[in-house]
Structure 1
């Protein structure tokens, strides 16, 4: 009897035996950085800029705890299956489950068979009539791609008719209610029991919030606002060990906490190096200087790719995907805020006929350099995929850029002609113009798994897993974020189309309709992720992660800022690390790179600067970075910072320091005071 989900091969080795690490550390001459090169073809930590002695220690401790926790996971899985489910849930919530994919699949396969073989009348008994265990098991199985209908049938026994809580369901079981609420977010169309479970659990949890202590109330609010399935694990992991206590007969939580902290040190250092690579590339390309009307946000683009590819081994893939994402934003701005309709038609023709020299020659200069840069990045990524995976994706990548430009042009023509599309036309085109297809087609080829003629045909034609993700992004964007992009663009929105078609409908009515449509799109995405489907697990995770990233990218506050995205950046790059000298130098280098290359806004720079932990002897460094934020600041503030910096007491005065003088000269030049 076959499983109802595919146990697809996992490309990340999960055994990590002792001899596996014999080749893991190499000293790199000249810069003494540490490289970790796993014997698994698809797993490696790229070079990390720790001094060799410290890096060896961090990696040795990481390896030791990784092996220890794996052994615990296997042993607990054999002896106490329900506790093992809590272990799996923990590593997934902490965003480190990629180390344990093989073990997780083996454990959940046994869990699936065990529940399937028992008679229906005994299903609830194997979970001790425990709603928390039942709901958790269902969620974990469904996350693996299993329909898990036999477990969802058990959930029925807790829910009565007409929206009433059944006698077996204790409405004071907060853990059970939270688990049921979490599980309900993996429902698909037609699962009315889970629809009812969502409503009941949500209502019950809201009812209980005023009666709970502060810790429990905060935990419940967090679950209601950020259910695991629809949230990025790395964004939600910060308070995991504070909020979650449970069965731990083996001491695995302490080991997991130590492993998570060590992993954070390695991964954050890796992300900082990637930021530096992206910033250098962006500066070298020079498009920010040539296309001054366009958004200049490499950090935001990188954060998108790092959310898509969370596995630490995918460093090169994150950098490459960031380059592709940058052109989605650049081309969007060309169509939306700058290009004339005639110019946009020429550019679209050039992209559709990629190799036709006459089409390129007819382009105005600013479009010609944009196309040349796009061609360079497309060739770079294609060559990389061909070299690593033996498939040339050039045609597929060009097709997806052509589709994007065609969709942008449709919107430009609508605006130029004054035509107002109906909501169906708008959304159909908007799914393509969201750019999600471009991101995920690049992601598919960069991951390099299960590339064959049949799958390439599917991926080229905007399959459901891509279109549902794109629908989520487009509708989230249309909830009101487009006006907060600080642009004078020509974007329409689904809300406008809806209100035109429904006389008397208010903006609130439109927002409610959009929220319901986003929920439907999530159901569709959940269904697309179930097996059988043609896509490998890493690609499915990438698609889900793009959908999970969307709220961070489009949740604007009253000040037109993105507080959740800024918090995510801080977590990603600066928080959770110890304050030793080597890491502080990395933080400073990363911050300096962000400021120098104008990758973040003034508010984001100030927020990141305030989050760094400078020692008393490093006050001059904090002041110096404050001066670097001169391009946005008021004159009197910067002048005061210069004076403050020059008064700093140290071994020698900084008044005549070359870097400080250069900073002042650039500032005065900025304000015309030569």
Structure 2
């Protein structure tokens, strides 16, 4: 998270003046704090979901008689956002299909759509189906056959599948170029409904989409399908509304927590974004059982945002040094070394959150978890301190040096450590050590988070004289133009996604559930920074998504 304040942090540190922050105000104010949970409505939804769930489970079982039908049904469950009800059944089915894959491919001559769907569904669940299966759609010159161009459904399927590529899979790289070009023209020639579906995929393919947003949008698309399964559609609609009530309740609790702290008044220079931060936490895991994770991620990320804004746009460098030292100590005894009252308030809030974490984890018999959250926070603040020092000295680091530090300042370490707090069934000491070791997938995700932010924010940062972003560092190190720097960074983003996909293929070095949630964090980043602006700083960019997910229910009678 980078600030968008319109006064230079570096000049502030050199003349000890206080800048006046110029962030857009909160769009939501106290609107969510007053939410009253409708218990009767929730219980009605829950009863209907339980009945429909059994019906859908029977359909899932019945579809096993035909592999293609079964894969299509699993895909529908995923697209409609209800697959979490059937995790075990889906896991067992896909394992059986993958184990029988050589025999399946030998016996059946799948068309482009079916093969692409099978490939995508298996890979999204960590089963590495070989990409050579797509060579059959190439001609003797090694190019995709012109005969498949008019198969819009198949082309769209191949496009979606291509985003599951790992390094060295040239056929998928070529497939992306080929399908994207054809879909752009198909979108204009298709029916309005299909055209919208294609355009949405071109903006953000399913693999990069946020599951909850994808589900809400697909429900609207699926209800217009002539071949739709009305029972499944009803199940998806009611379950979406049921879970939405839980999310609104959580958002209400967090809004009251934020209002009680009165930090919007205490820190007027900082971004007031509790709703947008909950959107971030909710994007990692929306399922009801992860409520505690969402609460802790929101609280920690809100404190991270305050520290980020303080270091970037308000504090003097001397104050930053004192605060960094205090964070290293993580003790209330260090509060007197802080030179400003506002810093004492912020420091006390962080220590209170650490204490809350220790108490909660102690009750779970997981006291060790609070240690890892603290260590992640210390690493983050060290990274912020390095950036503040560069800004203070007007130093432009090399791109490599910047990225090494940026892996910390992405804040992913704190966010994931906080998310593990509510995942006691899979996140033990071994998993925390794995996270702390910065394996390839974590490093790749952190780099995406840092550099995507830089691409959309670097021009404003240049204007106000902030620490050089990744774009400026690349331009200086490689004597490149701004356009060239951005192009090269975008290539790094593509390669980082391949690292991520690779580490999600079985056998994995961490529980699949944790990997999937980390991928969701990267997907949130793509939504926040992937539309040419910083939607965290400019909250109007997220307004439609917030409305879609937390305010408007899915109409049941259409």
For the 8 Å contact 1:407–1:430, the answer to whether it is kept is yes
Q: Which is greater in Rg?
A: 1
Name the CA shift for 1:558/1:344 in 2 (closer, same or farther; >3 Å). closer
5 Å-filtered alignment, 1:6-405, equals 49-52=37-40, 54-77=41-64, 79-116=65-102, 118=103, 123=105, 125-126=107-108, 128-149=109-130, 152-160=131-139, 164-166=143-145, 170-244=148-222, 253-355=229-331, 357=333, 359-364=334-339, 365-388=341-364, 390-405=366-381
Tell me the secondary structure at the aligned position of residue 393 of structure 1: helix
| Counterpart Cα distance in 1 of 2:534 and 2:330 | 43
Unaligned runs of 5+ in 1: 1-46, 581-674
Match of residue 441 from structure 2: 465
Q: Please give the root-mean-square deviation of Cα atoms over the aligned residues, in Å.
A: 2.8
| Counterpart Cα distance in 2 of 1:484 and 1:192 | 37
| Counterpart Cα distance in 1 of 2:393 and 2:461 | 24
Name the CA shift for 1:350/1:561 in 2 (closer, same or farther; >3 Å). closer
Q: CA deviation at 1:485?
A: 9.4
Q: CA deviation at 1:395?
A: 1.6
Q: What is the aligned counterpart of 2:507 among 520, 523, 532? A: 532
Tell me the secondary structure at the aligned position of residue 542 of structure 2: helix
2:543 paired with 1:566: yes
Q: Deviations over 1:398-432 (max 9, x none)?
A: 11111001000111111111111011111111121
Q: CA deviation at 1:257?
A: 1.0
| Counterpart Cα distance in 1 of 2:533 and 2:430 | 44
Name the CA shift for 1:194/1:386 in 2 (closer, same or farther; >3 Å). farther
For the 8 Å contact 1:385–1:448, the answer to whether it is kept is no
Moved more, 338-347 or 375-384: 375-384
Tell me the secondary structure at the aligned position of residue 492 of structure 1: coil
Unaligned runs of 5+ in 2: 1-34
| Counterpart Cα distance in 1 of 2:106 and 2:150 | 19
Q: Deviations over 1:13-57 (max 9, x none)?
A: xxxxxxxxxxxxxxxxxxxxxxxxxxxxxxxxxx992243x4433
For the 8 Å contact 1:431–1:471, the answer to whether it is kept is yes
Name the CA shift for 1:283/1:242 in 2 (closer, same or farther; >3 Å). closer
Tell me the secondary structure at the aligned position of residue 421 of structure 2: helix
| Counterpart Cα distance in 2 of 1:190 and 1:443 | 33
Q: Deviations over 1:79-111 (max 9, x none)?
A: 122112111111211222111101111211121
What TM-score comes out, normalization by structure 1 length?
0.72
| Counterpart Cα distance in 2 of 1:161 and 1:429 | 48
| Counterpart Cα distance in 2 of 1:564 and 1:229 | 21
Q: Deviations over 1:292-315 (max 9, x none)?
A: 211111111111101112112222
Q: CA deviation at 1:160?
A: 4.2
Q: Deviations over 1:465-499 (max 9, x none)?
A: 22211111111111123566999682431111122
Match of residue 624 from structure 1: none
5 Å-filtered alignment, 1:466-481, equals 466-481=442-457
Number of equivalences: 520
5 Å-filtered alignment, 1:500-649, equals 500-503=476-479, 505-554=480-529, 555-556=531-532, 561=538, 564-577=541-554
Q: Deviations over 1:317-353 (max 9, x none)?
A: 2112100110110110111011111211111111112
Tell me the secondary structure at the aligned position of residue 447 of structure 1: coil
Could you list the structure 1 runs, at least 4 aligned residues long, displaced by more than 6 angstroms after superposition. 245-248, 484-487
Q: CA deviation at 1:379?
A: 2.1
Q: Deviations over 1:482-534 (max 9, x none)?
A: 5669996824311111222343x332222212211111111111112222223
| Counterpart Cα distance in 2 of 1:263 and 1:413 | 50
Higher relative CO (Cα under 8 Å, sequence separation at least 6) belongs to 2
For the 8 Å contact 2:294–2:419, the answer to whether it is kept is no
| Counterpart Cα distance in 2 of 1:440 and 1:170 | 43
Match of residue 8 from structure 2: none
Q: Deviations over 1:567-599 (max 9, x none)?
A: 11011111234599xxxxxxxxxxxxxxxxxxx
| Counterpart Cα distance in 1 of 2:160 and 2:403 | 29
For the 8 Å contact 2:80–2:219, the answer to whether it is kept is no
| Counterpart Cα distance in 2 of 1:382 and 1:281 | 19
For the 8 Å contact 1:447–1:538, the answer to whether it is kept is no
Name the CA shift for 1:425/1:558 in 2 (closer, same or farther; >3 Å). closer
For the 8 Å contact 2:53–2:235, the answer to whether it is kept is yes
Q: CA deviation at 1:183?
A: 0.8
What TM-score comes out, normalization by structure 2 length?
0.87
| Counterpart Cα distance in 1 of 2:540 and 2:255 | 22
